Amino acid sequence: MNKTPRIRIPSEVRTYVFQRDKYQCQSCGKTTLETDLTIDHIIPLSLSGRNDLSNLQTLCASCNQQKTNHIDPRFRCHFDV
C-alpha cells in the first residue's frame, strides 16, 4: 500500500469545501461561529486516501484530533476499504 503524499490544500479548495459543507463540522455539527474548522481527509492519506474533493470534509479541530488517522464509520459504507 503506497501512502499518498501530503500536499497543501489551496485556499480556493478550502473555501469550496467549507461552503459545500455549510461551514459546519461534518461530525458534531458545530459551525464556524462556535469553533475553529479544519479540512480533513475522509480516508486518511496514510490509508491510501486521495487528495481530491470527494475525500475532503469539514471538521472542527476537536473532532479532527479525535479522528486521527482512522476512517469515520459513518463514511465506511461509501468507500471500498
Per the domain annotation, does 20 fall within a domain? Answer: yes
Per the domain annotation, does 24 fall within a domain? Answer: yes
- Residue 60 in grid coordinates: 472542527
- Residue 10 in grid coordinates: 489551496
| pLDDT for 62 beyond 60 | yes
Number of domains in the chain: 1
CB atoms within 10 A of CB 43: 22
Q: Report the distance separating Cα 71 and Cα 15, nearest Å.
A: 23
Q: pLDDT per residue over 21-44, tens digit each?
A: 999 999 999 999 999 999 999 988
Q: What percent of the chain has pLDDT over 90?
A: 54
Per the domain annotation, does 37 fall within a domain? Answer: yes
Q: What end-to-end distance do the CA atoms of the chain give, in Å?
A: 12
